[in-house]
Amino acid sequence: MRKPSPFTNRERPEDFLSFYQAHKEPLYRYALSLVKNPALAEEAVQEAWSRCIQYSQRFLAVPPEKRPAWMAVVVRNAAFTLLAKEQRYLPLEAEETLPAPEHGDVSGIVTLIRTLPPLYRQVLELKLLLEWTDREMARYLGLSEGQVRTRIWRGRKLLQAALRKEGYEYDQG
């Protein structure tokens, strides 16, 4: 007996494929920011997509506008699981002094973002790492777009101060 398709008339496999195409790169960058290892990041993302397919009914039950956030959580959980298997754990706060970044290296900035208060860290991670729009963040967080923009602005100010403290030069022009 053939297993029934998890997709309804409104949802088709092509919709899942387009979702995958639209979100695979931002999710990989997010995983890489968590695990700091390209191979491990790729494995975490593959595991997340595998879980998404395995639990397609849960995925399809999530409203389409919230699916990127749902997948981000799945990627994060997969990354943490892989790190735990390797007996490595992510620090909750960065306590080490960061070296000046190489051109294009943003790992120091990601680490600094993680040291911000949760109120600002969350919006900066969504904005800078997952590339969400203000509207997407507002819907996800249950805030107005103005509140989201204010948190981003304040979070960036805190991030700029942290960068200066670490010895990074910041051009405001």
pLDDT tens series, the chain, 173 aa = 554 444 444 556 677 788 888 898 999 998 888 888 888 889 999 999 888 888 888 888 888 888 888 888 889 888 888 877 765 444 444 333 334 444 445 566 777 888 888 888 888 888 877 778 888 888 887 888 889 999 999 998 988 888 888 777 655 54
Q: What does residue 139 show for φ and ψ, rounded to 5 degrees?
A: -65, -45
The rounded distance, in Å, linking the Cα atoms of 144 and 137 is: 9
pLDDT at 7: 47
Other CB atoms within a 10 A radius of the CB of residue 109 amount to 20
Q: Which amino acid is at 166?
A: E
- pTM for this model (two decimals): 0.47
- SS3 for the chain is CCCCCCCCCCCCHHHHHHHHHHHHHHHHHHHHHHHCCHHHHHHHHHHHHHHHHHCHHHHHHCCHHHHHHHHHHHHHHHHHHHHHHCCCCCCCCCCCCCCCCCCCCCHHHHHHHHCCCHHHHHHHHHHHHCCCCHHHHHHHHCCCHHHHHHHHHHHHHHHHHHHHHCCCCCCCC
pLDDT at 61: 83
